[in-house]
Every structure is written in structure tokens, then in C-alpha cells.
Amino acid sequence: MSIQYKLVLASGSPRRIELLAQAAIEPDHIHPADIDETPHRAEHPRSLARRLSREKAEKAAEQLRTDEQYASSFILSADTVVAVGRRILPKAELEDEARDCLRLLSGRSHKVFTGICLILPNGRTRQTLVETRVRFDRLTKLQIDHYLASGEWRGKAGGYAIQGLAGSFVVKLVGSYPNVVGLPLHETISLLQGAGYPVYDRWDQGRG
């Protein structure tokens, strides 16, 4: 009889949970890993996304090591970084931070990097990185003020959520749309499937 491994998501992001659900994947356990996300000096945005996703997975694995229920699980983590050139934009918590981000993004292109890390039940680690290019229209002060009033920006990398009102700012997107939301679905599914997680088991059960 084959062993049925469980899946732990080392993130409490509702967006990542919803994206996984879109592919009929429901984590057996949600275990957010709280780490210091401060970039290292001169760290490239893509390197930051890879490092943070790995550190989140490793911390979750360490915390669950003595948990009999989830010690031998697939542990999935991700981290999304928004950057203009080499400048890394914050995950805005203050309105002034979000305003600065939107002013910087206005009328120009930026990149969204998501690092994905998967720790297998045998302890091995697999990683991938996805890049999407996004261009915003030139934003007026009125647009920025109203968007800030919506509150959708709070806690979002780059001060915006593309799946919400800010989707109307986008004039061009090259690459994975789910990557900008927070989890590149195609690459995540490929990573899980390649590692032996039964991704498609629920697909033939109907979605209602």
C-alpha cells in the first residue's frame, strides 16, 4: 500500500490558498512561517524571493519536525517580491509606503518575482523562481487617493493587489498572472507533480 503524504502550506495568505483551491489542492495544514524578510545589503530581488521562500519552508519544517501528524509531509512555501530595476518595493503596511510605491510604478514597467520552495518528505528541497513583467498606466493623484482609500494595498508587495481594483491600472502583462497574485499556479503544480505529490487525484471527482 502506498504512503499518503500530506501537504503543509507554510503561508497564511488567503490568495495562495485560493489559487491552490483553483487546482483542487487543499493543504492538510496551514503553518505560516514568521521570518525576518529584510533584504540583505545589495541583494537582488530574484535572490531575495528565492531565499525567503526557502527560509519559510525550512522554518516550518523545523517547527513541525516533532509533530507526528505532519513531520513527514510535503512543505510548500512561496514569497513574492515586486521590484523596479534592482529596487525592492516593500509589502506596504502604511499608507505613505503604498503611495510611494504607486507613484514609482505609475507609467512604467516593473517585475514581480515569486520564489517557490518545496521540501519533500525525505527532506530534499526543490525550488523554482517565476518572473512576470507588468506595466502600469500613468496614474493620476485622484486614482491613487481612491485606491489608497480602498485599503486593498495593505500588506501587498508593491502596494497593490492585481486581482482587485489595481487590475485596472495594468496596460501590459508578460508572463504568469497568478504569479502577480502571489503563486504561479502552473509552476507550483509542476513542482508538486514532479516531486510525487498526487496533484490530479481530485480532478476526476468533479468540482460541483
Among residues 108, 89, 111, which one has the least CA distance to residue 98?
89
Three-state SS for 17?
A: helix
pLDDT, tens digit, 9 for 90 and up, residues 66-121: 998 998 999 999 999 999 999 999 999 999 999 999 999 999 999 999 999 999 99
As a whole number of angstroms, the distance between CA 195 and CA 190 comes to: 8
Residues 189, 73: Cα–Cα separation, whole Å: 16
Name the pTM for this structure. 0.93
Closest among 22, 23, 28, 38 to 8, alpha carbons compared: 28
Evaluate whether the domain defined by 6-205 bears CATH number 3.40.50.1010: no
Question: Average pLDDT in the 32-49 region?
Answer: 95
Q: pLDDT band at residue 1, thresholds of 50, 70 and 90?
A: very low
The full set of domain ranges for the chain reads: 6-205
Catalytic residues: 79
Cell of 187: 509552476
